[in-house]
Every structure is written in C-alpha cells, then in structure tokens.
Amino acid sequence: MAAELTTRELIAKHRPTLDQALEAIRTRAYWSPHPEHPKAYGENGSLDAAAGKAAFDALLGTRIDLGQPGTDDWVGAEVSPYGIELGVTYPHADVDELLPAMKAGQRAWRDAGAEARAVVCLEILKRISDRTHEFAHAVMHTSGQAFMMAFQAGGPHAQDRGLEAVAYAYVEQVRTPDTAEWTKPQGKRDPLALTKQFTAVPRGIALVIGCNTFPTWNGYPGLFASLATGNAVLVKPHPRAVLPLALTVQVAREVLAEAGFDPNLVALAAERPGEGIAKTLATRPEIRIIDYTGSTSFGDWLEANARQAQVYTEKAGVNTVLVDSTANYKGMLSNLAFSLSLYSGQMCTTPQNLLIPRDGIRTDEGPKTFDEVVADLARSVDGLLGDDARANALLGAIVNPDVKARLEAAAGLGEVALASREISNPEFPDAVVRTPVIVKLDGAKPDDEAAYMSECFGPVSFAVAVDSAAEGAELLRRTIREKGAMTVGAYTTDEEIERTVQEVCLEEAAQLSLNLTGGVYVNQTAAFSDFHGSGGNPAANSALCDGAFVANRFRVVEVRREA
Amino acid sequence: MAAELTTRELIAKHRPTLDQALEAIRTRAYWSPHPEHPKAYGENGSLDAAAGKAAFDALLGTRIDLGQPGTDDWVGAEVSPYGIELGVTYPHADVDELLPAMKAGQRAWRDAGAEARAVVCLEILKRISDRTHEFAHAVMHTSGQAFMMAFQAGGPHAQDRGLEAVAYAYVEQVRTPDTAEWTKPQGKRDPLALTKQFTAVPRGIALVIGCNTFPTWNGYPGLFASLATGNAVLVKPHPRAVLPLALTVQVAREVLAEAGFDPNLVALAAERPGEGIAKTLATRPEIRIIDYTGSTSFGDWLEANARQAQVYTEKAGVNTVLVDSTANYKGMLSNLAFSLSLYSGQMCTTPQNLLIPRDGIRTDEGPKTFDEVVADLARSVDGLLGDDARANALLGAIVNPDVKARLEAAAGLGEVALASREISNPEFPDAVVRTPVIVKLDGAKPDDEAAYMSECFGPVSFAVAVDSAAEGAELLRRTIREKGAMTVGAYTTDEEIERTVQEVCLEEAAQLSLNLTGGVYVNQTAAFSDFHGSGGNPAANSALCDGAFVANRFRVVEVRREA
C-alpha cells in the first residue's frame, strides 16, 4: 500500500516535538506542546470552540463505524451525567475474528522501528489535539466533568500524558543499538568477532480498560506506551465513557492507514450493557499487556488472573492531608477547598482524610482549634462554591448513582461540618450537581476508623482528629501501607514534622505535596514533570510515567552471526 | 560510624569502570574489566592460582560465621560433585529476627544515592574479582563445572553480569534528576513555580534464590541489581551450592561495613536439608523482589504465589538448533560438538533438539543424509572427548543424581546415535563424569514428540528428523511458544530459510545464533553485549540484563513544594 504519509515526512514534522519531550522527561522542567487555553485553538487546522461544539453535536445519534473486522452488532447507551442521551452506537466485536485481524499488521509495525512508531503516535496525538474542543464535549458528557476541566484534563493534559508515554517508550527502545560489532581479543590468536542485530519486538495485543471519570487522561498513557513499543492495542472503554476513546481509536486508525500501516493495530471493544467483556478479554492468550484504571477489586482480580499479561493498574487509595501548622492559613484553606471541590472530588487524587491535631494547629493568624480549622475550611468551600455558576464550573456533575449514594450516606458517618448542597445547572437541568460534604471523625474511635480507612470515592472528606502531628504521621503511614495513596499532602512549618512526613512518604512510596497554598493543587500532576502514583503502594502498581511503565511492553531479540 | 572507605574514595576508584560499563551497554561492543586468564591474577592484591587454591582448602571444614543477627543454628552439608565433602557450615537464620535487622540500614543506604550505591557494589565486585581463584574452586566443587569453566563462568563472567546489573541500575535511577524547578507560565499572572525533589526508594528486601549449576553467574545479576537500587538482599543459595554465595555475602558485608553502611543489608539464608525455606521466605511480606533460577515448576509457583513481590525468573526451556545447510560442515560439527559437551550439557542454554531434514542437508562437502549428519556429529563429539584429560576439562562432573538418571533413561527413548561413556577422573575418582548421548527421534511420531518436547536437562540431545527446514522452523516456533527457549541456533545458507527462522525468533522472542562455526558457541553469552534469555517466552520472564530487569526494583518518590 502506498502511504499517504511517509515516515520521512512524519519525522520531519514531529521529531522536534519528540526531542523536546525527551528533554523534558530528563529535566522535568515545565513543558507542554498542547495549549491549555480554549482560545488557542481554531488556526492551522484545529477546531475552534464553535466548530468543536458543532462537531460534537453532529456525533449525537450517529453510528461510529470504525470499519473493524468481526463487527457483529452495534452497541452504545451512553447517557451524559448532564442528562443528554448521546445515542451514539459503536461496533461490537466478535473477538475471535477481531483479535487475529489485529495481529496481521504487527510485523510491519515492528519492522518500522521505534522512531517511525513514535512519529506515527505523535501524528495521532496532533490530530486529537486539533479536535480538542470536540473531545472536550465528549469527555464532559461521559465523565460529568465541567467543560473547562474536560477541555484541559481530557484534552491537552491527556495528550501530554500520551506524548510522555511515547517519549519514554522511544528512549527505552533505542537504549540498545540496532546493530553492534563485537570483537573479543584472543591473545595471539585471531579475535572472536560477531555481528549482532537487536530488534525491539512487541509482546502482542495490549488491552486498555478505560475508566468512567478520565477516559482519555487515564487511557492515553497505556495506549500510546503499548502502541509505540510495537504492540497492537485493543481499547475497552467504560460503558459510560465510550465516545472519547472511540474517537481516539478512529483517529489512530486513520493515521495508521495513511502512514501505510494496518489500521487494525488499534481497535475498539465496546460492549453490551452488563456484558462484562473485560474479564473475557483480559484472560485471552492474545492479550499480553493490560492497562487498567478503576476499582481496587477488579484491579486485584486482573493482577491475580490475567497471568499471561503484563498488568499495569491504577486502583483506589485513601489520600491524606496532614495539617500540622501553616504560615499561610488563608492560602491553605483556599487551596484545600479547591482540591476538595474540583470535579466533586471524583478524582483518584482528591484528598479524603484531613488529619488535624485535636489540640489545634499553629498558623500565621494565631493558634486555631480543631473545630476552628474545620469550620474555616467549610467556610472556604462555601465561599468558593457560593456562586452557582462558579460552583457548576468547578464541580461538574456527579458521574453516576453510586457516587451520589455514597455522598448521601456519608452524612451519617459522623458530625457534619459542611453539608452537601444541591446546585442547579441552568443549562442541564437533569445534571446531578452537589457540593462536597465534610464529616468530623475521631482518629482514636474504632467506629470512625472504619469510615476513614475506606475509600469513599466522591465529594466526601473526613476531618479526622488525631492526638498530634506525629500520631497523624503514623496514621498516614498505616493508611498508605494498608489502603494505598495516589497523593499525600501536608502543611507544616515545623522542620521535624516535615522530615517525619517526608520519611513516611519515602518509606511507603507515596507522592507528597508540601504546603501548597497557591495555584497548584495536591490532586493535579503535570506530565513530563510529576509522577502520577508511585507504583510502590497498594493504590497502583505503576506510575505515570517512568521506565518501568514501558520497559516490559517489548522485548529485545538478538540475532548474532560470525562477522 | 566513621567509614574506613569514604564514598569519595570509592567514586575516585570505581567511577571510570562504571562509565566504561555504561558505554558498553550502550554500544554493546566487547568489554570486560575482569580478566579471563588465570595467570592474569596474582598482582595488586589479587590471589594467584596457588594462593586461591590454598584459600579454598583453608575453608574446608570450617564455619563461615557471617556475624548475622538471628543465627539460631549452623547448617551445611555440601558434597562436591567431585566427591569431596566440603564440611563447611553456615548460619541458619531465625527469619523473624534476621528480616527486621536487614531493614535497619535501608534508610542510610537509600539516602546515600545511586552513585554511592554503585561504587560500593563495584568495590564488592572488585574484592570478589581479586579472589577469583578461590571462588573458582568453590564454584567447581558445588556445581561440578571443570576448573577452567568454574574459573571463567563463575569468576569474570559472573562478575561481568553483576557489574552490568549495577550499570543498568545506576542509569535507570539517574534518568530522573534529584531536583527540578518547574515554572509554568500563567499569561499575565505570575507563573506557577514548584521545587521538586525526586528520590529513588527501594521496594524492601530482595530475595535471591540461587541455583546449583551457576551459583554466582545466575545469582549476581539479581543480587547487584537489587542492592544497587537501594534494597537489602537476602541470598538463599541452593543447598548444594552454598559456598560461592556465602563468600559473596561475606565480602558484601565487609565492604558495606567499611563504607559505613549496615552489613545486614546483605545476608545469607542457608537451610537445613529438606527445609524448603524458599517457599516460606518468598511469601513473607518483607520480601518485595525475588530473583530465581531453577525449575519451571518452582518458578511458576513463585510467579503465582509470591504476589507481594516483583518476581524475576529464569526457568527451563527446550533449546533448538535447526540444521538446514552449511558452508562449513566441519566447523558446524565441531561447534555443535563443543556446545553439547561443555559442562555435560548442564547449561540452561545447551541445545537439546537438533532438527535435521529427513532428506538430508546441503553442505560444502556435498549433500549429507540425516544419518550421515548425525553420525558425523557423533564422531565429532567422540573426537572432541577422545582424550580423557580433555574430556574431564570440558565435561566437568554430573551435578546430581537426577541428571545421571535422566542421562541413563535417555538411551531408551530412541535409536542411540552416540552412547554416553563413563570417563574416569584421576584427580577425583568419585566424580561422575559422562559424555553426552545423542538419540535419534522422528519429529512426526507422537511417541517421540513426548521426548523432544520435554526439557531433558543434562548431556542429552535429540537428533530430530523433520520433513523440511520449513517444517523444522514451524516445530521451532511451537517449541518456543509451548516450552520456551533460552537459546536458538540455526545453520543455513538459504536466505529464505534464514529469514523464516529469524521471523520465528522475533515473533516468539527467542535469542538466535546463526551459523556459528568458530570459537563462539550458542550456549554462551557475553555480558554488556548479549542478552541472556529474552523474557518474552516461557523459559524466563526477564532478560539479563535490560531496563526492565532493574526499573521496577525501586520507585521514585516526589516531594514538591512551592518555590
């Protein structure tokens, strides 16, 4: 097949971006090629706000025909957390036909080499980037994120994480040269001389199991890491969040075909309601890599049962913020209030347990009692969300009825310091919008422990009274060790407490944000610089993104012969 | 504790070697800092042949007291395959006391950083290198290798593999900088600015489960990869091959202590006969990494059951050589004869199945029938081993009664093309020394398939008649896929067959040696250049040595604060 896009053209177009990404993961300074501002789009072929909205609207009620082999039905029943029925249907695959078809193009993809694969991946990301406005609506109406967050987290930030994975995959593959001449001296005899060829070979077909809340942000790292290392990739989206990944698959298939590769290297596995296809796929012998984001129970199941595959999981944890003291009380409160509110706390990185000494804390505004800190935080959240328009823009919608149920039950777990409120969304009257609840618990009471030592995913936080900051650090340690943590925060002006908390995080392998009072929040990480998760505590068995995330997605085969 | 060896001194001493190792794994050209020739030792503090032998003799009948905490008994009952009772005893550990003690020094070891850990590891390797003659006897009298092989494979080649692991571990850890300044523009507002610290943190205690045949060569990669990435390392040797690893642990403890670190970062777990301590240790929560070389059944057990740990296994495979045609018939025969004979075929890399077209092959000496090829190979082996002194020097001793029993049973599996002979060893009359057996089988007969599709570890090879080279390539594929392979060899002058075999090896992830007729053998790999195993077929889940072998032995913890 004559490629419309030659590898040479793609290298010329994307190699500078790849090189910048390689430099960024080395220095971990700020960098992104994907603009965060909606107004940055609309030129050079990218869709502006209106065109993106129109493109999204045009998708509603349509069938997304990816042209995949083995399509035996059309499925799809997404209902936006904002109330819209998307009415989009997707191919349902006969996997006995689809999986073999996905292998047909693997040899050519392997033989293309690491650089060609990287620039094809970058072209896919570029076309997705150009459609960021369209993807933003797709993410908003599947995850329930507010538009601006769906735009940024589902657009440029997700694309950054995908590009970061491509950069790690590329550099890992080129650590070993394509060929080597090996000449070993033998004293007076002729040296031994071998010519060696090294080829990065894929493991097989990779399965990406998407999540409801961050279909692109959590899906892209595994998708691009596997594709860039030569594997075919089957994307199994969450049944409530198919559209953003179906569009992604569509773009990937287009680019692969234009570049002369088999489009079946990337395919979608949409499912019927209740079909539970993930378990079936995850144990198929063809599936050699799995990336999963979701519940601990299914993540643990995958790790235990998908033994034929490399399994990368991001599960659930219990995130803690230890509050000992602060030199910027207002900044701390507003920073925490934002973290608790953003996307109604429906982030795997949102703090859940706020550990506060029962005797109170030291601040630049003088000592504050436990109750004062909690009341001030509640006021800060109330202030942040006092205006309904702003509240809607920050909170988004409750993603599913389970979250709503947990939120409603949380008020019964202890004394409510801040009650959850309903917010009406004038644009989407069916959206379920709720402000966070803050519940006071006592760290020393066994009944309360049952609550704060369980993940309560959603807009629920516990203000947990602890005997001292040092006791809090020990509870932090136990929480990470037993339940895992995607993030840890701490506020302290005390060097010893700071050292103690750092040591806990180093020993339990948790990512720590210290004394954040400005515009960076504990629940946000930046690709190319911050690690998302550590892979060293029970919340996740891998981190985004590091060498370990990519190094075992391919193997190196050596062919040696006498020179 | 005041260190006798400062990190600065160690860096000055070893950094140039580390840099050379880093360059070697990048170019994969020939390199080694460890001399292969026995006469190269004896100066600059290293033991010469006589001193090494004397040092080994002085160990016999002694107690090796490592000064480990929790020692509750002394155990050891090694009998050399050459007939000597070693009479050496080792500490038996109360693991409930030893494991906590091993964690005490982890913080300081972690905080020392990647470079300090690397140069401490290099100092350990240097001291082991200086005692290569002593280690050679220890390896010989536990593995049954002949002296020269024990010297080279157990000495410099093992040290090379250890150093290679240190180099990979070092470079993996320094991919992320210790600190980064992250400044994100915010349009007209002040930029967001964070200071980030990144620390490589260990997983915990690593367990090395040693094997009988290559205690140092197979033990060092995991030991040094784990130690260099900040973990403590518990070495559980094979009960028949304790001494080389006990000496290794002794040296490591000495160097750690002299460098100001806790010697308990490396410890030995010797066991009573039949105690089966590996299973107990492997599932202890403190054990977070396991390196294992040995049987497929226990390797599979570890992968399935030691779920709290990263498990790196080298198990068993069925190694194949496909013989299609050759431009150097004599060279092929002598190369194969050597490969089948070296260490009585007791290498995980020794070829087992020689696939030969039943209609014969093309050679530079004209066409040869299947029977001629097999008979010529048998003659070549006979010629190689015709002289008893040379035979002893190549074959070594049969390592244990199981191998002897398999060898004896093999003659009943088919037509014997070359019978195994007993060789007497004048120096060690109790040594069991045997030449290899070659048995003819028919690739098309189901009864024969049961034999050639099982690993028959030891000096047993099957000359398997196949319908054609192409059929042979398909049998090769099936063998790798179902049974795994550490090595594959092929002889062909036909470009299409060569491409076919290469494609099979790329698709099934097996390391291929093509047309070896000189002084390099399919069963030998060189550190810094050749990969040992691929990690992509059932014979092993990891390769020596690559990024994947080290990248998940540590995690990176980030601490970020506002700048």
The tens digit of pLDDT for each residue in B118-162 reads: 999 999 999 999 999 999 999 999 999 999 999 999 999 999 999
> Would the CB atoms of B556 and A543 count as touching at under 8 Å?
yes
- Name the residue ranges covered by the structural domains of chain A: 51-178+194-315+543-562, 320-514
pLDDT of residue A4: 85
Can you say whether the dihedral through the CA atoms of A41, A45, A49, A52 is positive or negative?
A: negative
B547 touches chain A (CB under 8 A): yes
- Contacts with A, B 102-121, CB within 8 Å: 107, 110
Distance between CA A202 and CA B509 in Å, rounded?
A: 9
Q: Is A198 on the interface with B (CB under 8 A)?
A: yes
Say if CB A481 and CB A508 are below 8 A apart: yes
Q: Tell me the nearest-neighbour CA distance from B532 into chain A, angstroms.
A: 10
State residue B2's pLDDT score.
Answer: 57
Domain A320-514 belongs to what architecture? Answer: 3-Layer(aba) Sandwich (3.40)
Residues B553, B394: Cα–Cα separation, whole Å? 37
Measured in whole angstroms, the distance separating CA A470 from the mean position of its chain's CA atoms is 32
- For residue B495, count CB atoms less than 10 angstroms from its CB and return exposed for 0-12, middle for 13-18, buried for 19 or more: exposed
Instruction: Give me the CATH code for the B50-178+194-315+543-562 domain, please.
Output: 3.40.605.10
Q: Which of A:122-151 have CB within 8 Å of B?
A: none
Within 8 A of A534 by CB-CB distance, chain B residues are 555-557
* CA–CA dist A172, A556 (Å, integer): 11
Task: Tally the residues of chain A.
Answer: 563
pLDDT > 70: what percent of chain B?
100
Q: Determine, for residues A557 and B546 on separate chains, whether the beta-carbon distance falls below 8 Å.
A: no
Place B4 in a pLDDT band, splitting at 50, 70 and 90: confident
The residue among B512, B521, B557, B561 with the most chain A CBs within 10 A of its CB, best to mutate, is: B557
Task: Using CA atoms of A339, A340, A344, A349 in order, give the dihedral in degrees to the nearest 10.
Answer: 60
B307 touches chain A (CB under 8 A): yes
With beta carbons under 8 A apart, name residues in chain B contacting A541. Answer: none
pLDDT tens per residue across span B163-184: 999 999 999 999 999 999 999 9
- Tell me which amino acid residue B529 is: S
What confidence tens digit (pLDDT) does each residue in B19-52 have?
Answer: 999 999 999 999 999 999 999 999 999 999 999 9
Single-letter amino acid code for the residue at B347: M
Instruction: Give A144's DSSP letter.
Output: -
| CA A466 to chain centroid | 32
Fold topology of A51-178+194-315+543-562: Aldehyde Dehydrogenase; Chain A, domain 1 (3.40.605)
Among chain B residues, the shortest Cα distance to A308 is held by: B538
**In whole angstroms, how far apart are CA A57 and each of A46, A76, A240?**
17, 16, 18
| Burial of B122: CB neighbours in 10 Å, binned 0-12, 13-18, 19+ | buried
Closest partner residue to B547 (CB to CB) among A37, A172, A177 is A172
Does A505 contact chain B (CB < 8 Å)? Answer: yes
Instruction: Give the residue from B312, B313, B555 with the most A CB atoms within 10 Å of its CB, the best one to mutate.
Output: B555
Q: What is the pLDDT along chain A (563 residues), one digit of tens a residue?
A: 457 889 999 999 999 999 999 999 999 999 999 999 999 999 999 999 999 999 999 999 999 999 999 999 999 999 999 999 999 999 999 999 999 999 999 999 999 999 999 999 999 999 999 999 999 999 999 999 999 999 999 999 999 999 999 999 999 999 999 999 999 999 899 999 999 999 999 999 999 999 999 999 999 999 999 999 999 999 999 999 999 999 999 999 999 999 999 999 999 999 998 999 999 999 999 999 999 999 999 999 999 999 999 999 999 899 999 999 999 999 999 999 999 999 999 999 999 999 999 999 999 999 999 999 999 999 999 999 999 999 999 999 999 999 999 999 999 999 999 999 999 999 999 999 999 999 999 999 999 999 999 999 999 999 999 999 999 999 999 999 999 999 999 999 999 999 999 999 999 999 999 999 999 999 999 999 999 999 999 999 999 999 999 999 999 999 999 99
Q: Give the contacts of B343 (CB within 8 A, at least 6 positions apart).
A: B144, B145, B146, B149, B213, B350, B394, B395, B396
| pLDDT band at residue B499 under the 50/70/90 scheme | very high
Q: What is the pLDDT of residue A534?
A: 98
Vertex A122: Cα angle to A121 and A126 (nearest 5): 120
User: For B382-389, what is the mean pLDDT?
Assistant: 96
pLDDT of A364 reads 98
Q: What one-letter code names the amino acid at A333?
A: L
Q: Does B36 contact chain A (CB < 8 Å)?
A: no
Q: Of A285, A253, A287, whose CA–CA distance to A268 is shortest?
A: A253
Q: Which of A203, A526, A548 sits opposite B552 (nearest CB)?
A: A548
Nearest-angstrom CA–CA distance, B408 and B456: 11
pLDDT at site A2: 57
Chain B residues touching residue A27 (CB < 8 angstroms): 177, 180
Q: Is the pLDDT of residue B93 over 60?
A: yes
Strands A287-293 and A205-209 turn out to be parallel
Does residue A79 belong to the interface with chain B, where contact is any CB pair within 8 Å?
A: no
Pairs of CB atoms within 8 A across A/B = 182
Q: How would you classify the pairing of strands A422-423 and B310-314? A: unpaired
Answer whether A560 sits within 8 Å of B29, measured CB to CB: no
Q: Which residues of A touch B107 (CB under 8 A)?
A: 503, 507
Answer whether A505 sits within 8 Å of B304, measured CB to CB: no
Q: Does B203 touch chain A (CB under 8 A)?
A: yes
Integer Cα distance of A342 and A459 in angstroms: 9
Do the domains A320-514 and A51-178+194-315+543-562 match in fold?
no
Gap between the Cα atoms of A139 and A137, Å rounded: 5
- The yes-or-no verdict on residue B1 having pLDDT over 90 is no
